[in-house]
């Protein structure tokens, strides 16, 4: 009697990949049902992009190694096209991911056909700046844009529950499984539109089976509901008005025993119909608006932003909240585009609800001027200013807590570019200055200056022989930083050469740099060497060898780390579809 083979169960991630493969096969039939007439002009199957396998050797002396001596990386970003249907995806595999169950950290596709886009797997989708705003979600969704109708929907997981570390028996970092769905509906085009978006997300407190985690972490399952409106109106091809506004109900503990049933407020009663609301809930708003006018030679834009303290959306990574700002940004060009200017000045403050003891105000300005004196010679000038002032709001507080600072940056960058059929000359120089003025009076007469002065100069010259495919480059730089009780000077240069051979199938690149660093506590010499060889064969295949070496030799320095060397060698093979 022949032994019976055991049935091997599939992991969820394996089922997902099989489903994606079947989807890639079935989608052409869907496209065919939608537009039969266009299929004859499309290739049945095509694949673009490429894959690369790299092996890395690393060694260092004098400092702890920040990576393993031998490593590998296998990565790719192919795009499959089936009868005009594009299915892009990417992957990365390395020895550092062996502890993961799946070989791909994140895998997702967004196939689209005409006005239909389907999202599967790990996707970053944006419906508005304040609802679903590019947060990576593992799930599924669809976007439909037939004509001026705009619709989108996503459902999936924003975060996975913490798993127990079997080596340390700890739950760090702690997190619940967080699921969400988001929707957008609107009408219009990229120039003129009106959208309403919605996000609802919630932690699953039952997703973590370990109930003995440290209560000092103060982490509780949360929920979030956000409603937003986005609009833009374009008139006469020159004038536009745009804005975004959103309201967010963020509940920090969905299991809070304290309810607000006795709170007599119509808005609160309405919110309870579609959001989890209790004593840990907080409601905040965010808004921005802009008005602009642009012609061929000049334009002007007025911008306003306001974000309440503690405004959060689980569909966005970060908000710089508790601020209100105003800005104006003019631009113009003249003399047949030989003179160009862009700039802006803005005023910003926090404490928008008057809840802090002090209010910080900031003035932010920048200006960029470009001039082309001839077809070869030009100059770029850039200036930025940032000032920060803090004033008492509700009570008088110590002078040591006051803030008054101004940071200014100024740079001049002349450039000369000359090219003909034989040679090319490119000269770019720069002089940059940064100054931080600290006006705080911390310790009366014994105040220590915290002013910082920074200056940098460099000039780069590149000479190219077009017929020989040879390029030589030389760079010299000088940097100086002065602060209270310390001075740091860094001077040096780099020589680079690039050469192509055998009808550009072989590319050679090398550089050598030497820098001398002088500090109050001693000096050091730094040598950097690098080389790169790339060989392309059979048009689609390429081999790449990279060598990088650095050597830092300090002299008479006792307050910093000793000298060190680092060497990295990479050998790679790539294939382009």
Domain encompassing residue 549: 492-577
Say if residue 171 is in the same domain as residue 244: yes
- Beta-bridged to residue 261, according to DSSP, are none
Would you say residue 31 lies in a domain? no
pLDDT of residue 556: 64
Cis omega (within 30 of 0) for bond into 173: yes
**Whether 458 and 555 share a structural domain:** no
Asked whether residue 243 falls in the same domain as residue 278, the answer is yes
- The stretches in the chain having pLDDT less than 50 are 1-37, 98-104, 166, 212-215, 394-401, 442-445
Instruction: Please give the pLDDT value at position 59.
Output: 94
Element housing 21 (H / E): helix 12-34
Helices (H), 122-174: none
Q: Which residues of 356-373 are buried (b: 16+ CB within 10 A; e: fewer)?
A: bebbbebebbbbbebebe
DSSP state of 109: E
How large is the C-alpha radius of gyration of the chain? 30
117 within some domain: no
Q: Are both 137 and 276 inside the same structural domain? A: yes
Q: What total of structural domains would you count in the chain?
A: 3
436 and 531 within one domain: no
Residues 161 and 279 in one domain: yes
**pLDDT of amino acid 509:** 97
Distant-in-sequence contacts of 267-273, Cβ < 8 A, 24+ apart: 271/225
Instruction: Kindly state whether residues 362 and 465 are assigned to the same domain.
Output: yes
Confidence at residue 97, expressed as pLDDT on a 0 to 100 scale: 53
Domain final residue pick, 484, 505, 539: 484
Interatomic CA distance for residues 95 and 97, integer angstroms: 5
Give a yes or no: residue 441 inside a domain. Answer: yes
Task: Give the per-residue pLDDT at 354.
Answer: 85
347 found inside a domain: no
Tokens of 375: 């077809």
| 61 part of a folded domain | no
Tell me what pLDDT residue 492 has.
96
Assigned domain for 434 exists: yes
| Residue 158 shares a structural domain with residue 281 | yes
* Same domain, residue pair 496 and 471: no
| Beta strands, E only, 114-172 | 116-126, 133-144, 149-159
Q: Are residues 458 and 535 in the same domain?
A: no
58 domain-assigned: no
Note whether 389 and 468 are same-domain residues: yes
Domain-embedded: residue 337? no
Same domain, 523 and 480: no
Give Cα separations from 560 to 370, 478, 486 (angstroms): 42, 22, 14
Pick the last residue of a domain from 437, 463, 484. Answer: 484
The burial of 322, by beta-carbon neighbours within 10 Å (0-12 exposed, 13-18 middle, 19 or more buried), is given as: buried
Query: What does the block give as tokens for 187?
Result: 């009408």
Q: What is the pLDDT of residue 34?
A: 33
C-alpha 328 chain-centroid distance: 25
């Amino acid at each position: 009697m022949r032994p019976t083979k055991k049935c091997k169960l599939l992991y969820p991630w394996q089922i997902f990949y099989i489903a994606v493969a079947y989807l890639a096969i079935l989608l052409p039939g869907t496209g065919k049902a939608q537009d039969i007439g266009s299929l004859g002009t499309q290739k049945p199957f095509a694949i673009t992009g490429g894959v690369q396998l790299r092996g890395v050797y690393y060694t260092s002396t004098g400092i702890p190694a920040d990576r393993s001596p031998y490593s590998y990386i296998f990565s790719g970003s192919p795009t499959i096209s089936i009868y005009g249907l594009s299915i892009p995806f990417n992957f990365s595999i390395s020895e550092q991911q062996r502890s993961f169950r799946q070989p791909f950290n994140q895998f997702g596709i967004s196939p689209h056909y005409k006005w239909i886009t389907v999202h599967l797997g790990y996707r970053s989708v944006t419906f508005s700046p304040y609802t679903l705003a590019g947060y990576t979600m593992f799930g599924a969704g669809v976007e439909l844009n037939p004509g001026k109708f705009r619709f989108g929907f996503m459902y999936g997981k924003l975060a996975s529950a913490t798993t127990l570390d079997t080596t340390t028996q700890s739950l760090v970092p702690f997190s619940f499984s967080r699921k969400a769905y988001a929707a957008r509906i609107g009408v219009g085009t990229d120039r003129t539109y009106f959208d309403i978006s919605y996000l609802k997300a919630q932690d699953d407190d039952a997703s973590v089976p370990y109930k003995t985690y440290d209560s000092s972490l103060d982490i509780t399952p949360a929920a979030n509901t956000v409603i937003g409106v986005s609009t833009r109106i374009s008139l006469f091809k020159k004038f536009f008005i745009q804005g975004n506004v959103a309201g967010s109900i963020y509940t920090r503990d969905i299991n809070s025993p304290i309810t607000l049933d006795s709170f007599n407020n119509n808005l609160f009663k309405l919110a309870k119909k579609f959001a989890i609301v209790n004593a840990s809930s907080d409601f905040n708003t965010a808004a921005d608006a802009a008005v602009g006018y642009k012609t061929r030679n000049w334009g002007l834009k007025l911008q306003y932003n306001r974000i309440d303290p503690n405004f959060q959306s689980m569909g966005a990574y970060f908000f710089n909240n508790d601020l209100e700002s105003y800005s104006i940004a003019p631009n113009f060009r003249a003399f047949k585009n030989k003179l160009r200017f862009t700039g802006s000045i803005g005023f910003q403050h926090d404490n928008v609800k008057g809840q802090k003891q002090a209010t910080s105000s900031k003035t932010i300005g920048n200006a960029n001027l470009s001039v082309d004196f001839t077809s070869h010679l030009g100059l770029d000038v850039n200036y930025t200013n940032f000032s920060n002032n803090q004033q008492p709001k509700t009570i008088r507080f110590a002078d040591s807590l006051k803030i008054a600072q101004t940071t200014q940056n100024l740079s001049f960058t002349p450039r000369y570019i000359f090219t003909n059929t034989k040679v090319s000359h490119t000269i770019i120089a720069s002089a940059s200055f940064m100054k931080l003025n600290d006006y705080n009076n911390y310790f009366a007469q014994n105040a220590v200056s915290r002013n910082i002065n920074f200056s940098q100069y460099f000039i780069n010259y590149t000479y190219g022989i077009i017929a020989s495919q040879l390029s030589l480059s030389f760079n010299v730089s000088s940097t100086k930083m002065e602060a209270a009780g310390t001075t740091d000077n860094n001077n040096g240069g780099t020589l680079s050469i690039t050469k192509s051979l055998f009808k550009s199938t072989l590319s050679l690149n090398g550089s050598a740099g030497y820098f001398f660093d002088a500090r109050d506590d001693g000096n050091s010499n730094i040598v950097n060497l690098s080389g790169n060889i790339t060989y392309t064969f059979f048009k689609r295949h390429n081999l790449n060898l990279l060598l990088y070496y650095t050597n830092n030799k300090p002299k008479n320095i006792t307050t910093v780390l000793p000298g060190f060397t680092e060497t990295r060698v990479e050998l790679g093979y790539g294939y382009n579809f």
